[in-house]
Structure formats: structure tokens, C-alpha cells
A and B are shown apart, each in its own frame.
Chain A
Amino acid sequence: MNEKLDITLTVNGRSHALGVEPRRNLADALRDDLGLTGTHVGCEHGVCGACTVLMDGRPVRSCLTFACQAEGAAIETVEGLADGDRLHPLQQKFWELHGLQCGFCTPGMLMLAAGALRENPDMDDEEIREVMSSNLCRCTGYQNILRAVRAAADVMRAEGAQG
């Protein structure tokens, strides 16, 4: 169990070679081996969603994914969401609409929404509510998170239409 496997993780477009125990989960590998502490661990049993990252474009619970399972996949974390200094529309709208308080669930919420909007850019309000109910937030009561995702989806659709 303590033997290490050599794997390569591709995170936010960069490749990282690392040796991990088979039992090491992706969240720990991202945080402790790669120093990407924007991915948070809230429960380690797949309910809270604070650890949500994208794997090949789809949201996954990185606490329920072994690091070695992620080999060969394109992983995206909150650290890769902004375009340089330009915030992603989701980040921008979470900021403007007070979609966060303590900020602990925020990276997971952002990545969940990013993945969901990639799959369906035209989600209606009820679909947004349903998909965002995958993750827990203890501070906001969710309303501003839903508003922020709605507003970001509108911005992204408008940008997509232009570009």
C-alpha cells in the first residue's frame, strides 16, 4: 500500500511528474504535491463538493478520485480559471453579486458551474439550481450563488455569440 506509483498529472495545461501512493486521492495530490491549495477539502466523502475540479471538462469530486485515476486526463482547478489578471465571468459575477462569504466552498462552486455551463451553456434557472445543489455552502444561503451563475452564463453566451 505504501509503494509509490510514478504518474503524470496534467493540471491547467501543465504536466507534472510525481510519485504517489495508490491510496492518495486527487485532492491531496493537487494540494500537497503540487501546492494547488485552491482546491479545498470539506468532507472527504464526496458530499460537500468543495473539492470539485474538472477532469476532461467534467466536474468530479477530487476527494473521491485517486490521483492515479487522473493520469492522462486534463485537470482544471480554480487556479486556472482566470485568464491572467482577467477574471472568468463566473469569478466576476460571484464577486459583484456577493456569491461568497467565507470563500471555502467557492472554488468547488466555480468549477462545478464552469463544467456544467460547458456541458449546457443554455441552462435555465431551475437547471442551474439543480446542478448547483450538488455542492454545499454554509454561509450564503445559495441565492447569490444562483444569481451569479445565471449572470455569468448570460455573459458567456453573449461573449460566445460575439466571438
Chain B
Amino acid sequence: MTENAPNLIGQSVARIEDPELLTGKGTFAADFNRAGQIHMRVLRSPVAFGRLGGIDTAEARALPGVIAVWTAEDIADLPQIDFRMTKVQGLGPYRQWCLARDYVRYVGDPIAVVFAETAFLAEDACDLIFPEIGELDPQLDPLDDPSPYMPETMPGVLSEPAVLRKGSGDVEAVFAHAAEVVELELSVGRHSGIPLETRGALGVYDRDSDTITMYGAAKVPHYNRGAIADMLRLPVERVHLSEGHVGGGFGPRGELYPEDVLVCYACRRLGRPVKWIEDRREHFLSTNHSRDQHYRLKAAIDERGVIQALDAEFFTDQGAYVRTHGATVSDLAAALLPGPYLIPAYRVAGHIRLTNKTPCGTYRAPGRYESSFARERLIDAIAARKGLDPFEIRARNLIPEDRIPFDRGIDALGTHVVYDSGKYHDLLARLRAALDWDALSARVAARRAEGERIGLGIGYFVEKSGLGPDDKVRLHFYPDGLICIVTGVANIGQGVETAMAQICGGTLGLPMAGISILHGQTRLIDEGRGAFATRVTVMTGSAVKLASEALLDQALDLAAGRFGLPREELRYRAGRIWHEGGASVTLCELAAEYGGEDGLVAEGIFRSDHMTYPYGIHFAQVKLDPGTGGVQIERYMVAFDVGRAINPMLVEGQITGAVAQGIGGALYEEFVYDAAGQPLVTSFADYLMPTAMEIPPIETLIREDAPSPLNPLGVKGAGEGGITAAGAAIASAVEDAIGRPGVVDRLPLTPERVAGWLRG
């Protein structure tokens, strides 16, 4: 019935987002301004843990140009910030207030907020606020026994909000008869996404309609809209969120934080537009940290090194409060710790622990970067014990193709974990061939013989993507041929407009020019799930395909009626419907004839109850400096099956960017605290983000061997796999270079640690 022009899907086309961004015409959070706006500044706790007494704001209030100064008392009607995603019970008491009540729990905890005519004045006024804080001993080690959360006001509430337990198979029985048991203790340091744009928001209140609009939204505008409306006790239609350009997402950006709520609340109460832009120090103190997990693994293995059972316990240091992600990081870590391996019996206990540090949330591949590091360290330890090479030990443990779809028998994010498609052995063999592993190993051996400290390592991972439950888009086709797709998705820099335009254009056999994507505007569409959990291409992309097909369906009906011919005799190609007998009409003509002001309108709704599971392998070759302990990455490769690549250039871009972040977390980036809970990392001079000098060229082996059966495009998300096993592969390579199996037990691999391991 339909024939299309060469398909845009699968082409490495340049992005439609770029011209504005290249010419300085982007609109990031700080670029929004309104006449009459005032500026908000947050006073933050200077101590890690303390009983909050009186707060003297008199001097600040008296400063000319200061409009208001609020503490918790002034916003007593605002509730705690709720969870966006979690099904775990019992976390409620640990939610953060917009301004601290009774206690401060981390350096950076908001104590008071100032509104003033200029940003400078607001900052000056913060210096004139004097809180009384009775300092207490902070809890800083999540492995210590849980301590009272707020001892006087919440007696009996301890700093372990929950322990997640999952499992399948009879672990006890396997251990009772195990040939050998391997035990490891591992940890991953605290670091985070650190987008280059800090957070920011502009709240604008329209008195006539009693409506609040927040500009500078990101990631999940529709969810946040509802949450803000609930907190302000307003009907949801009185709150709108509007997304401009977003300077990087990566997990932290776009979650609902105290400042977003305060901006919305204040613009209505004060009757002036309120602008807040986070500074970089504040970002380090107040935007979600992540990772920071400690693992204890115990594996029962057979004579061949095949894991028969895995008994795992881990601790997630989630900082001062439980923020919007709830138990997400621990949930995903627990669910995906077994990764690509069969592991017939599995049991895990994931402890969520709170400490007096910045609260944590998700960061690209949350729970998987950490658990992949832990699992792959375990696999390497088994390989060392059995004298097997890194490919052989993995081949022996991988899930065979005939067992896929593979039901792990556990849940993640409320969905059943079923690996939907995968050729795990095949990808391993392809990587081995691409590296010419035996020759490479021989070259490395020769260099070692010359005295160089060279190492090779790999890390296998299974990712998850495409979290449902649904996604909706609305497609408008106008008489001039322009197509507008309205979606509740968000663009955090990943190229969603281009990918969606490709799917639409590819489905309709039309060029990308003329297709525009409107996203992140709650005014334009009543629902949307946003951009997280590598869900956009899978969920929104599928909805775009369905909407495009619905448009075609509608057009064929219209044409059939117009021609008075049976619909099944009509043909379609590149915007034109015709009949062999000569009748012909274009989509533009149909839109002019039958479409109203909105053109021809079609909707696409895609639903999915299961996530889809991409998988891949990281490879690293490193060289150590025995003098300094410095790690140089000589070569890096990622083999990654994404099911189907809508735009291979963008997929490669996602992988390369994610690898760079993974290298950062493996070697350089770490939030460190002193014994009093004071953060020692509050600037880019302390937080060592990789530069162009640290990142080597990243080789990619992008495969489409196992398309997902769960969506009409066959796609799996490509946004996170570039980071997932980076820590694992680099640790493996560094340990190989050190030559002492089992020593590398923590990330990041700082020069100090590496030098220590080298010394023995």
C-alpha cells in the first residue's frame, strides 16, 4: 500500500537543533528575563549537621533593595518535596523541605531565602542573616551503624530509610555445595553529572489568570508541573512549565529541587517575576550527587569458574535526604548487578543509608555504573583464580542466545526484568576480533618486557532503556507541507528533535526540512513523561512513528473518499497518494481541503510495560606512570548493540560523551569531605572534569544484531551504555598493568591509590 523514499531512519544527518546553538541564539535558563523581575538567593548551611535555632534576618530585611527574606516559618504551608519515582515504602519522613526545619543536615542545606532587586543585593543580604546552629557530630560513613536522623524532633527515626531485597533461585542451597567461594569488597566514589549549565529558573505570575509559569524547566516538565501545583495547592492548569535550551542533563538536572518550588511560590506571593540562577559552588553543594556505593559480594563458583550463585550486599550513601528519585539508584543497582551472566541463584540486600552530605540522585547509568564495576571486578577475580583470560571467563558465564528472552525473576522500577533480545556471545567474539586480541596481548607483553606498565581490561554490561508506561505525541500536517510534532518529551542536549524528525520523515518518506518538534511545554500538550531513563527514542520515537502512520491512515481514508475509490487500491509515496487510474492528491492538498486551522492532526500513543535491554562491552588499554601513579588511557573501544540506530552519528556522539564522563568517574572526579563533613570539592579547581587532553579517541563498534521486539522501531536506548562499564574496564586494565589480581577495589583510581598499589 505504501512505498517510501530512501529512509531517513538510520542516516547520520546533521542536527536540526544546531544552527541556533552555534550562533548564540539559544535560550538557556539564565537567558530568560522579564521586566520587573527580582532575584532570589539561598542562604545555605555552613555546617554538616546541627540543630537549627533562631534565625536573625533583621539586618538583611533592612537592606535597601531587599524585598523579602523567608525562613521555614514563612513558608510553613509548603510541604516536603515528594518522590517522582519509587515504589519503596517508608521513605516519606526523609523527604527534604524547601527550607530547613529544626535541623540542618548537610553543608549547603537551604536555611533562608532572600528576594532583592538585583542578584548582587540578594547575595549581599545573605551575608546579613545570622542563624543559630547547635553543631552536632555528623554521620559521614554509610557503613557505620545507622544514627538518629533528627534526634530531638523525630526520635527513633534512623538514617537507614530502607533495605531493598531481591532474589531468585535458592542461594543457600548452592552455597552449601559450592566448589569454591569468591568474596570481594568494593566501592565506587561519590561523583555526579555536573552539567556545564548550572540550574536556574524564572517564575512569572499572571494575576488575571492566577497562573504561574516557570521557565528553565528540564527533563520532566509535566511531572514537575503537577508536583509544584500540588505543593502550592493549586489546580494543575494554573501551573505551567516551559523548557528552553538545557545545558546538559545526565540525571541531576531537571529533577524538582527546593529552589524550583520557591521560585514558583514566590512569584505568586510577591507578585513579581522571580529569577534564580545557581552559581557553580552552589551546584556542587546542592544539586544531586550520585554513585557512592559500597559492595560486598560473595559468589559460589564451579570448577570451570562459572558462577552458580551470587550473594550480594551493598550500601548506597544517599546523603542528607531522600530526594525525588527515592530508591531508584539502589533499585537499579540491585536489579542489574547480575548483568549479562546466567547466575542461576541470586540474592541481594541494598541498604539505603543517609549521611550528612549533599543528597544523591541518579547520574547517567545510575546503579549500573557502580554494579557493573562490582560485578566485573568479581568476574576478573574469578578469572585470576582460574587462570582464564578475560574473554574466556565471560564466555563461560554469559547468558546463551537460546535462553533469551531471559527472565531474571526480579523487578526493576516496578517492571519485570526480562532481557528482551541479545546475542551476548556474538558481541564478545566481535570485540575480540576487532581488537585482534591475541596479537594485541602479544604486543602488550613485549612492551611489558621492556619495562612499561601496560594493561588491558574489558567490562561487559547490560543496560536498560525505554521505561514506560506510555508516551503521546500529536502531529500536525499543514497545507504548506510543514509538520509540527508536539510532545511532552524534553531535550537535554541529546538531539531529540533530530531523531524524532528522522523517524517522522522516514515513516512518511518526506525530507526533514519542514519538520519541527515542540517539546517541554506543558501549555501545548496535556501529558508527557519527559527525558530520563534512556526512554526517549524508544517511547517517544515509537509514538512519533505511530502518529505518522495514523496521519497516513487518515490521509488514505480522505483520499479514498475524495476519489470514490477503494482505499486498498491507493498507493502512497513521499507525500502523494495516487491510484493507477490516474487520480492523485498530495498530503498538502488534503490538509488544505480537510484540515482546519490545526492542519491534519494525528495522535500517536505508545505503551510499554517492559523495559528494553541494550548491552555492550568496554575495552581499555592503559599505561601507568610508576612514579606518579598517573593513568594514561592509550586506547578505548565500546562495542554496543543498540537494536537499531536512528542516527549513527548521534549514537556515536552519545557513546563518546558518556565514555568521557565514565573516565572522569573512574580516574578524576570525586566529592571528598573532611572529618567535620565540610566538602573539599566546591569548584572546578577541585572537581577534576576531564579535558580534551585526558580523553583519547573513542573507537566504537555499534551493532544492530538484536533489535528490540518490544517497539515498532526495534530500537534500544543508546544514551547510557557509553558510561556503564567504563569504571569496570579501566579498573580491569589498571589492575592488569599493576599485575596483582585483586588489588583494585575502588574508584576513582587516583594517582595516590595507584601508586600505593604499585608499591604493594
Residues of A with C-beta under 8 A to B18: 94-95, 100, 103
On whether the beta carbons of A129 and B245 are closer than 8 Å, the reply is: no
Residues of B with C-beta under 8 A to A77: 24
| Chain A, 60-99, CB within 8 A of any chain B CB | 77-79, 81-82, 87, 91, 94-96, 98
Given A45-B280, A130-B693, A146-B692; A102-B24 close (CB under 8 Å) = no
On whether the beta carbons of B22 and A42 are closer than 8 Å, the reply is: no
On whether the beta carbons of A38 and B692 are closer than 8 Å, the reply is: no
On whether the beta carbons of A78 and B653 are closer than 8 Å, the reply is: no
On whether the beta carbons of A145 and B692 are closer than 8 Å, the reply is: yes
On whether the beta carbons of B692 and A39 are closer than 8 Å, the reply is: no
Given A48-B196, A138-B195; A106-B22 close (CB under 8 Å) = yes
Q: Is the interface of B mostly helix, strand, loop or mixed?
A: loop
Over the window 1-39 of chain B, the binary record of Cβ atoms lying under 8 Å from chain A Cβ atoms (1 yes, 0 no) is 000000000000011011111111111101100000000
Q: Which residue of B lies closest to A63 (CB)?
A: B280
Given A98-B653, A100-B22; A138-B248 close (CB under 8 Å) = yes
On whether the beta carbons of A103 and B280 are closer than 8 Å, the reply is: no
On whether the beta carbons of B24 and A38 are closer than 8 Å, the reply is: yes
The CA of A50 and the CA of B245, in the complex, are separated in Å by: 15
Given A43-B683, A94-B18; A141-B659 close (CB under 8 Å) = yes
Query: Range of interface residues on chain A?
Result: 35 or more
Given A102-B245, A132-B692; A139-B14 close (CB under 8 Å) = no
| Chain A, 4-34, CB within 8 A of any chain B CB | 21, 23, 31
On whether the beta carbons of A102 and B195 are closer than 8 Å, the reply is: yes
The CA of A141 and the CA of B247, in the complex, are separated in Å by: 15
On whether the beta carbons of A95 and B19 are closer than 8 Å, the reply is: yes
Q: Which of A45, A47, A102 has the most CB of B within 10 A?
A: A102
Taking the closest CB of chain B, its distance from the CB of A141, in whole angstroms, is 3
Query: Range of interface residues on chain B?
Result: 35 or more
Residues of A with C-beta under 8 A to B469: none
The CA of A25 and the CA of B14, in the complex, are separated in Å by: 36
The CA of A39 and the CA of B28, in the complex, are separated in Å by: 11
On whether the beta carbons of A81 and B247 are closer than 8 Å, the reply is: no
Q: Which residue of A lies closest to B19 (CB)?
A: A95
On whether the beta carbons of B693 and A42 are closer than 8 Å, the reply is: no
| Chain B, 365-415, CB within 8 A of any chain A CB | none
On whether the beta carbons of A43 and B684 are closer than 8 Å, the reply is: yes
Q: Which residue of B lies closest to A91 (CB)?
A: B22
A110 within 8 A of B: yes
On whether the beta carbons of B15 and A95 are closer than 8 Å, the reply is: yes
Taking the closest CB of chain B, its distance from the CB of A45, in whole angstroms, is 6
On whether the beta carbons of A40 and B197 are closer than 8 Å, the reply is: yes
The CA of A143 and the CA of B24, in the complex, are separated in Å by: 22
Taking the closest CB of chain A, its distance from the CB of B286, in whole angstroms, is 15
Q: Which of B20, B197, B246 has the most CB of A within 10 A?
A: B197
B542 within 8 A of A: no
Over the window 182-206 of chain B, the binary record of Cβ atoms lying under 8 Å from chain A Cβ atoms (1 yes, 0 no) is 0000000000011111100000000
On whether the beta carbons of B492 and A102 are closer than 8 Å, the reply is: yes
On whether the beta carbons of A48 and B684 are closer than 8 Å, the reply is: yes
Q: Which residue of A lies closest to B12 (CB)?
A: A98
Residues of B with C-beta under 8 A to A23: 120
Taking the closest CB of chain A, its distance from the CB of B332, in whole angstroms, is 22
B493 within 8 A of A: yes
B698 within 8 A of A: yes
Taking the closest CB of chain B, its distance from the CB of A159, in whole angstroms, is 18
Over the window 117-146 of chain A, the binary record of Cβ atoms lying under 8 Å from chain B Cβ atoms (1 yes, 0 no) is 000000000000110111111111111111
On whether the beta carbons of A102 and B697 are closer than 8 Å, the reply is: no
A44 within 8 A of B: yes
Residues of A with C-beta under 8 A to B193: 138
The CA of A54 and the CA of B88, in the complex, are separated in Å by: 53
On whether the beta carbons of A102 and B656 are closer than 8 Å, the reply is: no
Residues of A with C-beta under 8 A to B652: 98
Q: Which residue of A lies closest to B658 (CB)?
A: A141
A-B pairs, 7 with minimum CB distance: A38-B24, A102-B493, A104-B247, A103-B21, A141-B660, A47-B684, A141-B656
What is the interface of chain A, defined by CB distance below 8 A to chain B? Answer: 21, 23, 31, 36-45, 47-48, 50, 77-79, 81-82, 87, 91, 94-96, 98, 100-107, 110, 129-130, 132-146
Known pairs A39-B24, A78-B23, A136-B196 / 4 extra A-B pairs, C-beta < 8 Å: A77-B24, A81-B24, A100-B21, A101-B657
14 contacts between A and B (CB under 8 A): A36-B24, A37-B26, A45-B684, A78-B24, A87-B23, A94-B18, A96-B14, A100-B22, A103-B21, A103-B22, A103-B493, A139-B248, A141-B658, A142-B691
